[in-house]
Amino acid sequence: MNRIVEPNYGADADGNRGIEQVFFEIDDDDTPEIQSQIIEYIESTEEIPEFPFTVYLIDPVSESDVELEIDPLEYFTKEGLQEIIDNLIEE
């Protein structure tokens, strides 16, 4: 996950200027963790997750959880998700 910090030269409600904004971008290295969270959801609910699906990744700087909404179909095909459910039912 990429952490992007941008200065905000506006003011907050209290008039403080220069408050930094922090943004996060998912990168290819996050794919295994995201897929793991999708599979964990399917195993616990036996349902295909809908968009938006919330995943939790670790901020590389603060090491705190970051909540991100993703589309599960960007990481699995609909058929692939259904196959995971079918395999669970067979077990």
Residues 66-87: tens digit of each pLDDT: 999 999 999 999 999 999 999 9
Measured CA to CA, the distance from residue 12 to residue 21 in angstroms comes to 11
Decide: helix, strand or coil at residue 72: helix
Total-model pTM: 0.82
Measured CA to CA, the distance from residue 12 to residue 24 in angstroms comes to 21
Residues 24-56: tens digit of each pLDDT: 999 999 999 999 999 999 999 999 999 999 999
- When divided into structural domains, the chain yields a total of 1
Q: Is residue 44 part of a domain?
A: yes
Q: Is residue 86 part of a domain?
A: yes
Could you tell me the residue range of the domain that residue 62 belongs to? 28-90
Q: Is residue 17 part of a domain?
A: no
